[in-house]
């Protein structure tokens, strides 16, 4: 697990730990402040940190106080021979979506719970919420390709 130092983004500051936690839970952006880290200066929020397993050490009150927040474990799909995926997600269907992404302007994804196609997904998207069934099981096409078994 990675621990990154962060500061409130866009000039915000907080006077209490409760205010920091409220905005973190609300998904507001914070800025990575690790001088020698490759992502120094990048913006990050709770969803990003939870997805990537990052603990946040957030400085507040003029950078004189620190609150440490551990990531929450997102629901994940761990398919074995397509066992955790909807049966309609086949290698052929996923291959077609990845090719469409590579050679066009599509950004396809798949809901592993109900099998619906999704648009507007980054290739490495994981656990997005499905517009059809409401489950947090939408994965980008390339991420799904890594999971589907031939």
For the chain, what percentages of helix, strand and coil (3-state, to nearest 5) are there? 25, 20, 55
Using one digit for the tens of pLDDT, what is the confidence trace for 77-113? 444 445 578 888 888 888 888 888 888 888 899 999 8
- 120 and 61 within one domain: no
Total domains in the chain come to: 2
138 neighbors 128 (Cβ within 8 angstroms): yes
Residue 79 lies in a domain: no
Residue-number span of the structural domain to which 143 is assigned: 91-147
Residue 105 lies in a domain: yes
- pTM of structure: 0.51
Using one digit for the tens of pLDDT, what is the confidence trace for 2-47? 889 999 999 999 999 999 999 999 999 999 999 888 889 999 999 8
């Amino acid at each position: 697990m990675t621990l990154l130092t962060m500061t409130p983004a866009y000039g915000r500051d907080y006077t209490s730990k409760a205010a920091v936690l409220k905005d973190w839970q609300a998904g507001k952006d914070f800025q990575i402040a690790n001088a020698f880290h490759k992502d120094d200066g990048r913006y990050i929020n709770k969803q990003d940190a939870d997805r990537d397993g990052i603990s946040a050490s957030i400085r507040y009150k003029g950078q004189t106080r620190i609150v440490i927040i551990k990531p929450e474990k997102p629901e994940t799909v761990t398919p074995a021979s397509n066992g955790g995926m909807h049966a309609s997600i086949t290698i052929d269907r996923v291959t077609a979506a990845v090719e469409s992404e590579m050679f066009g302007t599509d950004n396809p994804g798949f809901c592993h719970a109900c099998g619906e196609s999704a648009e507007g997904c980054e290739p490495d998207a994981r656990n997005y919420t499905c517009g059809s069934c409401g489950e947090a099981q939408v994965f980008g096409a390339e991420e799904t390709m890594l999971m589907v078994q031939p």
